[in-house]
Amino acid sequence: MPSKREATAIDREDIRAWHHRGMSPRLLIAVAAVALGMAAAGCNGSEDESERAAPPPRTEPKTQTESAPAKRSPGPARTRGAPSVSTVATGLEAPWEIAFLPDGRALVTERPGRVRLLSRDLKLREEPVAEVDVSAIGESGLLGLAVDPRFKRNRFVYLYRTAQTGNEVLRYRLEGDRLEEDARILDGLEAAPIHDGGRIHFGPDELLYVSTGEAGNPSFAQDPGSLNGKMLRLRDFRGEGGRPEIVSRGHRNVQRFDWQPGTGRLFATEFGPDANDEINIIRRGQNYGWPDAQGDQGAPRFVPALVDYEDVIAPSGATFISQPGSTWTGGFLLAALRGEQLRLVSLDGDRVTGDQALFEGRFGRLRTVVEGPDGAIYALTNNTDGRGSPKEGDDRILRIVPPRGRGRR
Ligand SMILES: [Ca+2]
């Protein structure tokens, strides 16, 4: 793929040299391992020293709100002034996804193959609730996690992992405080050290959506016969799974997606190459352009991005703020890896009315962000993923209390 700029090939969310299709998978992995080692060693020279003088505040999470389940609902956690941040847990290794259970506990994946449990009072259990066999090379490993909408009845939890044979989605069952493997419901996804997609999430239709990357092979994204470079939707996830429906194609590496409250529109973040990180509104049957068009280009044949970031920020996990009472309410909040920030994208329907960077440089790389049942925002740092500069305590789970006020619903 010709690039718009000369890239520092390694100091990027991908290593585009790996797009060479002639390389054998084994060689590809070897090259990837060497390159990532170089990345870890070579790209950390310009970290902001001032961070050391001003570590993130470590207020006890209990002081803000309701860590014990309240009999009366206290309403979503909100601050009177600026948003507040506290560290909930430290010492995680490349955490990738956090998802809450109906009882207020949360599960957290770590890319090397562990699922951790966060208790209702926000204590991280030392012992993993599952250890999952993965092939964790480069960006691959244990990635997404989703909780079944009928979890109270069936105890099902879904994981996206890279196995030796490719990327796949597994169904687990939470038995006591152990996750037990139950079935493999999707396989046949190509895996690579780059562009493994990996987010899984239930839609308002209660179907399981899966984002896949093009695994370093851009032609997969346009190939209707390939499940790579797609948004997928799976119906039989409580049964045997099977071949999913392709929702949209022409994707390079979709990282997270969520549905806009009120409209049901599906928004997704996607990594671009040397520029053109994207936010897209995903519509069924549409083509989002990769590799033939990027960013806001490509109409009318392809759907242009709603937001096209010229500077690389690497937007990964994202969520709509659905709970009321905050100036953030109704906004699309995303976590950026390279950009080391959260971004709050304000919307009026499908029109962007604001796009604000938050906490830039303060916590390092941020992998994802979710809205907790208490109305606070939970974010995962990603400084131990081989491309960051881990500081003491990394990686962390952060709890962010949004500011009180009126947002757009
Ligand atoms: Ca695109």
Long-range contacts formed by 377-380: CB under 8 A, 24+ apart:
377/319, 377/321, 377/333, 377/401, 377/402, 378/88, 378/98, 378/106, 379/335, 379/342, 380/92, 380/95, 380/96, 380/97, 380/98, 380/108, 380/317, 380/335
Contact 200, 146 (CB under 8 A): yes
User: Distance between CA 258 and CA 263 in Å, rounded?
Assistant: 12
Give strand pairing partners of 108.
98, 116
Per-residue confidence (pLDDT) for residue 46, from 0 to 100 = 26
- The whole-number pLDDT of residue 332 equals 98
Strands of 208-211's sheet in order across: 200-202, 208-211, 230-234, 245-249
CA of 102 to the centre of ligand 1 (A): 35
How far is ligand 1, taken at its centre, from the CA of residue 308, in Å? Answer: 9
Pull the structure tokens for residue 216.
């370093």
Measured over the CA atoms of residue 328, residue 333, residue 335 and residue 336, the dihedral's sign is: negative
**Nearest residue to 4 (alpha-carbon basis) of 306, 254, 270, 276:** 276
CATH code (residue 155): 2.120.10.30
CB 272 within 8 A of CB 316: no
CA 297 to ligand 1 centroid distance, Å = 8
Residue 177 has a CB neighbour count (10 Å cut-off) of: 11
| Cα 281 to averaged position of ligand 1 atoms, centre (Å) | 10
DSSP output for 21-32 = TTS-HHHHHHHH
In a domain, 4, yes or no: no
Q: What is the DSSP string of 177-216?
A: TEEEEEEEEEEEE---SS-----EEE-TTSPEEEE-B-TT
In a domain, 7, yes or no: no
How many angstroms separate the CA atoms of 305 and 282, rounded?
Answer: 10
294: CB partners within 8 A, 6+ apart: 272, 273, 275, 276, 278
Structural domain includes residue 9: no
Q: Find the 306 Cα to ligand 1 centroid distance in Å.
A: 9
The C-alpha atoms of residue 257 and residue 261 are separated, in whole angstroms, by 13
Q: Is residue 10 part of a domain?
A: no
Whether 218 is covered by a domain: the verdict is yes
> Mapping DSSP to helix (H, G, I), strand (E, B) and coil, where does residue 62 land?
helix
Q: Considering the domain boundaries, does residue 23 fall inside one?
A: yes
Residue 311 class from Cβ within 10 Å (0-12 exposed, 13-18 middle, 19+ buried)?
exposed
Structural domain count, the chain: 1
Residue 252 CA to ligand 1 center (angstroms) comes to 8
First vs last C-alpha separation in the chain: 41
Whether 357 is covered by a domain: the verdict is yes
Distance in Å, CA 228 to ligand 1 centroid: 15
What is the 168 CA–ligand 1 centroid distance (Å)?
Answer: 24
Task: For residue 284, report the distance from its CA to the centre of ligand 1, in Å.
Answer: 15
Tokens of 408: 């757009």
Cα pseudo-dihedral 60, 62, 67, 73, rounded to 10: -140
pLDDT of residue 38: 35
| 25 falls within a domain | yes
CA of 316 to the centre of ligand 1 (A): 15
Supply the pLDDT for residue 292. 98
What predicted TM-score, i.e. pTM, was given to this entire model?
Answer: 0.83
What does DSSP assign to residue 1? -
Give the residue from 2, 32, 18, 31 showing the smallest Cα distance to 274. Answer: 2
pLDDT at 409: 60
Domain that includes residue 241, residue range: 16-401
pLDDT score at 71: 55
Cα–ligand 1 centroid distance for 319 (angstroms):
19
Question: How far, in Å, is the centroid of ligand 1 from the Cα of 293?
Answer: 6
pLDDT given at position 274: 87
282 C-alpha vs ligand 1 centroid, how far in Å? 10
Ligand 1 center to residue 76 CA distance, Å? 35
Q: Which two tokens stand for residue 248?
A: 């949209």
Q: How far is the CA of 298 from the centre of ligand 1 (A)?
A: 8
286 Cα to the center of ligand 1, angstroms: 11
pLDDT tens digits for the chain (409 residues)? 334 333 333 334 444 333 333 334 343 444 344 334 333 333 332 222 222 333 334 443 433 343 444 456 679 999 999 999 999 999 999 999 999 999 999 999 999 999 999 999 999 999 999 999 999 999 999 999 999 999 999 999 999 999 999 999 999 999 999 999 999 999 999 999 999 999 999 999 999 999 999 999 999 999 999 999 999 999 999 999 988 999 999 999 999 999 999 999 999 999 999 899 999 999 999 999 999 999 999 999 999 999 999 999 999 999 999 999 999 999 999 999 999 999 999 999 999 999 999 999 999 999 999 999 999 999 999 999 999 999 999 999 999 999 999 887 6
Taking the centre of ligand 1 as the mean of its atom positions, its distance from the CA of residue 295, in whole angstroms, is 5
| Rounded alpha-carbon distances, angstroms, from residue 245 to 86, 213, 236, 241, 251 | 40, 16, 11, 11, 15
Ligand 1 mean position, distance from CA 106 (Å): 32
